[in-house]
Structure 1
Amino acid sequence: MKEIVQTPAAPAAIGPYSQAVTFGNLVVTSGQIPLTPAGDLVSGGITEQTEQVIANLRAVLAAAGTDLDRVVKTTVFLADMTEFAAMNAVYEAHFRAPYPARSTVQVARLPRDVRVEIEVLAERH
């Protein structure tokens, strides 16, 4: 049975979707963008934006009863692939080996014209 995950520690959904959904032992997050829990866009470049995205993911995963160590797959959407190295440096600081599987793609545009969006698939404890 699926359950909806909702936490005020991450930005509220800005459309008809949930922050995350659990199904059995799995947690599937919606893509997180660099908004604060209050809904404000983080200033700065790809480094600051990636830090906020990961903070949001941590909060959503915690509300679902898990954490970054239990992530098995990530999908990273970048507005500009030339920012991959900077995003990857932040990513690597938060995910430990054995690393989750990952796809990274450049997209034409992201919501609110942000630089990065990340979604994850994790298992619950």
Structure 2
Amino acid sequence: MTEKTALTPSTHSVPPARFSHGVRKGGVLQVAGQVGFLPAQDGEPPAPAGPTLRAQTLQTLANVKAVLTEGGASWDDVMMIRVYLTDVDHFAEMNEIYDAYFAEQALTQPPAARTTVYVGLPAGLLVEIDALAVLG
């Protein structure tokens, strides 16, 4: 049976509870919900990339990509992306940011499936994204 490997990129701080930023087992890589925190800074508490949906969405996508890379995957390996928004009114703006981001990624495979839901997140956080990748 294949070992399960926890993934924590160097840009990420230790999770605040018993979970992994990502887990890979065989050809499956699950990225935990990532938020728009800036890369870890020498023991400082994580801080959001900024107060705007754009800043947080772009940083969140960068954080998901860092976990994918740590696990040997890329956006082309992603089968499913889930986006969690705190405000229904952010949907159109998030879609524009998301589309522009993936237009720049030069994907060689069809885009991943996606679900968007509305949730409560800690104060100041506007978006969370997770992903499921399948390798080889």
Which residue is 1:14 aligned to? 16
Match of 1:83 among 83, 90, 111: 90
TM-score by length of 2: 0.83
How far apart are residue 2 of structure 1 and its match? 1.2
For the residues of structure 2 that align with 1:7 and 1:88, how far apart are their CA atoms? Answer: 27
User: Which digits, 9 at most, give the CA deviation of each residue in 1:26-80, with x for residues without a partner?
Assistant: 1101100010122222213111110000010111110000111211101110000
The aligned runs of 1:1-125 (5 Å cut-off) are: 1-38=3-40, 39-95=46-102, 96=107, 98-107=110-119, 109-124=120-135
How far apart are residue 18 of structure 1 and its match? 0.3
Distance 1:24 1:69, change over 3 A: same
For the residues of structure 2 that align with 1:48 and 1:12, how far apart are their CA atoms? Answer: 22
How far apart are residue 112 of structure 1 and its match? 4.2
| 3-state SS of paired residue (1:111) | coil
* AA in 1 matched with 2:96: A
How far apart are residue 86 of structure 1 and its match? 1.2
Identity %: 34
* AA in 1 matched with 2:22: A
TM-score by length of 1: 0.90
Q: Greater Rg, structure 1 or structure 2?
A: 2
Aligned length: 124
State whether residues 64 and 124 of structure 1, in contact with CA within 8 Å, keep that contact through their aligned partners in structure 2.
no
Distance 1:44 1:113, change over 3 A: closer
Structure 2 gaps of 5+ residues are: 41-45
What RMSD over aligned residues (CA atoms) do the two structures have, in Å? 1.6
How far apart are residue 91 of structure 1 and its match? 1.3
State whether residues 46 and 83 of structure 1, in contact with CA within 8 Å, keep that contact through their aligned partners in structure 2.
yes
